[in-house]
A and B are shown apart, each in its own frame.
Chain A
């Protein structure tokens, strides 16, 4: 059983560049979440998918951020025109929503983004 994987693990970019991150969830999981986390804070919700449908997007998320999950399996998160404030750890989590209304999320190792 492989867990959630994310690629790349680290990304350094210059301000104004676009970056894309990939997340591969646990294979049978139907939900996929993206979070952002900065030092000393809990994860901040960005968006989530159930299968291929994007069900919610944080109101704090600017138009520079977009996420896709085209076939209901892996997902990508793109940040356009990066800013220094985008520097953070980007976490992906997946879960299996079954009959119960609460799902347990399992996290990937994260992608650490540094914007210079």
Chain B
């Protein structure tokens, strides 16, 4: 079967750094997306990785290791507005998106 694992919930402090992990077992791999979703709102696109390594985009970076079936999203200089759920989604061999359940990130002052 296909499986995406993320921690259910994480807590971090404003101004700090947090790493949200995602491990996956899917039938094939054609890339991995990270989306941010504030409570009651739609997911918004953050990043897409298809090659191994780190991609940086402002305060957010995303890392991929295809051999390990592993990705992480790194958020720096945390702000209160970063409180949200972070969804990991893998593109499988049929080019379908397989979604994780999301990680709820709570930022404390």
Contact = CB atoms under 8 A, between A and B. Distances in A.
Q: Is the interface of A mostly helix, strand, loop or mixed?
A: loop
B96 interface: yes
A107 B45 CA distance: 9
Interface stretch (A13-21, A66-74, A98-106): A98-106
B54 interface: no
Interface in B1-54: 4, 8, 30-31, 33, 40-45, 48, 50
A83 to B, nearest CB: 23
Interface residues of B, number: 24
Contact of B89 (A41, A42, A56, A101): A42
Contacts of A45: 96-97
Interface in A48-97: 56, 91
Interface residues of A, number: 19
Interface of B: 4, 8, 30-31, 33, 40-45, 48, 50, 87, 89, 91, 95-97, 99-102, 104
